[in-house]
Structure formats: C-alpha cells, structure tokens
Amino acid sequence: MKLSKAACALMERYLYAVKRELNDKSRDDIVAEIESYIYDLLEERFVGVHEVGEKDLETILKEMGAPRKVAAQYSPQHYLVGPRLFPLFMLVTKILVTVVLGALTLSMVINLVVNPANNVWMVMLEYFGSLFSAALSTIGILTLIFAGIECAARGRDIEEIEELQELHIHDLPQLPEQEKEVGQLGVSIEIILGIIGLVFFTYIQKTGGRLPYWMTPSADTQLVPVFTPGFMQFVPFILGLTGLEIARNLTLLVQGCHTSLTTWWQIAAKIADIILLIFLITSLPLVTLDYFQYILGNDMVMELEPLVNTGLAVAMSLSILGSVVDTIKQVLREVRNPSV
C-alpha cells in the first residue's frame, strides 16, 4: 500500500508536528513507531486498496487526535500540569505574559517622558530585569493555579479541554523546508524600502535634520529643522543597521531560502534595533515644531510637540515589545529546528 502525493505531504506534516511536541532524545524512534502504527491502521482499514488518498488518511489522523495528544502518550508522566491541561496553560501563559510585558513597557515609556534618565545603560538593565522578573513570576503563579486545577479535575472529563485534543488539519505546521522558503516579492519590497530609507537618512544627515519646505509652490525652498540633535546623533547607527538589513535581504534573494547565517543575522539585527529604540526613547524629544510655530504664528503648534514625541515613544515601546517576543520565538524555533 502506498500514499498519494497529497497524503504523503499530510503524513509528513503530522509526524513533524508530533516530533516538535517531543523532548525525548529518542523522539526519532518514537516518530518512526507512530508512523508504523498509522500504516498498520491503514492496512487494516483499507484492505486491497492500492493507493490511500488524503481524505482517507485524514480520517485516521483525526481518530488519533492532535499531535500534542499523541506525543503526550510517550512523555514522562511526572508533571504539575498534565497533557490534558497543558495546551490551555500555554495559551493563557502567552496571553498574560504579553499583557504584563506590554504594561511594563508602557510604564517605562511614561516614566522616561516624565523623568528623562541620565544613565541609559541603567535604564536598559532595569527594563530587561523587570521584564524577566515579571515573566518568571507570571509563569510561576499560573503553574501553581493550573497544578491545583489538575489535582481537582483528575479523573473528570472537561469538555472544553477535550476539544483542544482534537486534530485540526489547518493547524498542522508546514515542514521546515517550506517554512524557510523566501518570498522573492516580499524580500524585493523590503530591499526597495531599505534603499529609500538609506537615501532619506543620508539626506537628513547632510542637512542636519532639516527637511525642505515651500511657503507657496512658486516660493524658494527652505530647509526647516524637524529632527532634534537628540535624534540626529543616532542617524549613523540607523544607516548602518539599514545597510546590514539590505545586505541580508540581498543574501536571501540570492540563496532563495533561509539559512542558519541569515536567521541568526536577523536575530542579531532585531536585538540591535531594540537597543537603538531604547536609546531613542531616552533621548526625547526627537522632533521639534519650533519653526512651524514661527511660520504659522500660532502657539498651539508648540502644544502638539509633546504629544507628537509621546506618540513616537509609545510606538517605539510597542515595537520593542513586539521585537522582544518575535526574537524569543525565533531563537527557540531556530534552536529546535535549525536551518541548513
């Protein structure tokens, strides 16, 4: 008996999902055992059938259940949160940790706006220390709560929990080779945007943070100060990081896939971006509206300047939070399934 091309792809995705849920050193042997068991089921169910299709295999896999359920049967049975509650535990943990880290980041931004720090490195150390401490405390508290639920619900069926054990084909991960393929259109757009960024920041570096302004279409061009010295001191670093990102995207375009080099290159770039954003936040204000007040003759313009800079700080803080979460996920994914 053999599988159709679509069924083979589905089988590989399912076994790959099971393998990702296993931490045992013998997980390759376990996956091979599960694969053999699936073929035995197919032989019993479809006697005399020359080729099994995707739908037939899907029926068998749904009877077996979600990959995490299958993997749990081969995992050690010493745990605080059992395999039945673990998917819900992970979902709640991800949500609460993200909310807590977001609240801490927003608090840091407000504090920096109200009380600008003199020692940037101390601010960074305190920020990352508070993130680690808050994440650890949240995970610890949730573990104790779910351990209590595990003890109380032992031997009982929980309908909502059982639903998480069901297999949903669309939730199966793509195979590593497919995950690491590069979309040429997306990479090309990133390269174009990077080049535009290089041109823009090179221009404002030469003009000292000034941008062209016309009172009327026929009037001469004036260079109006927009970016403060606090921002301009970081322009060389922005140019350097942008150039490195363009180089990485060009490498991806030539290779056609993600490799260990480009993946860790991206991780390092994200960490550098995070550090740069923290320095920018501690250097507020980044933009000035002084000249626009002179042109318009309206004091209300200056009331907008703190709001603009605060908005920039909030946007950068959210970007920091997103980058931290993405970097952690990318590191874990690369460690578990390294690129070629």
Provide the residue-wise pLDDT of the chain in tens; the chain has 340 residues: 678 888 888 888 888 888 877 766 677 888 888 888 888 888 888 877 778 888 888 888 888 888 877 877 776 554 667 666 776 777 788 788 877 877 777 677 666 666 666 666 677 778 788 888 888 898 888 888 888 877 766 655 555 455 555 666 766 766 655 445 566 788 888 889 999 999 999 999 998 888 887 666 666 677 888 898 889 988 999 999 999 999 988 888 887 777 778 888 888 888 888 888 888 888 888 888 776 665 555 566 567 777 888 888 888 888 888 888 888 877 777 766 655 5
Exposed e or buried b for every residue in 157-195, given b needs 16+ CB within 10 A?
Answer: eeeebeebeebeeeebeeebeeebebeeeebeebbeebe
Token pair for 80: 């605080």
C-beta separation of 105 from 205 below 8 A: no
Token pair for 290: 């002084």
> Which helix or strand (DSSP H or E) is residue 210 part of?
strand 210-213
Burial (Cβ within 10 Å: 0-12, 13-18, ≥19) of residue 52: buried
189: amino acid identity, one letter: I
pTM: 0.56
Nearest of 272, 204, 281 to residue 243 by alpha carbon: 272
Q: At what angle do helices 120-152 and 260-281 cross, to 10 degrees?
A: 110
Residue located via tokens 């990077």 = 194
**Which CB contacts under 8 angstroms, 24+ apart, belong to 320-323?**
320/105, 320/274, 320/277, 320/278, 321/98, 321/101, 321/102, 321/105, 323/270, 323/273, 323/274, 323/277
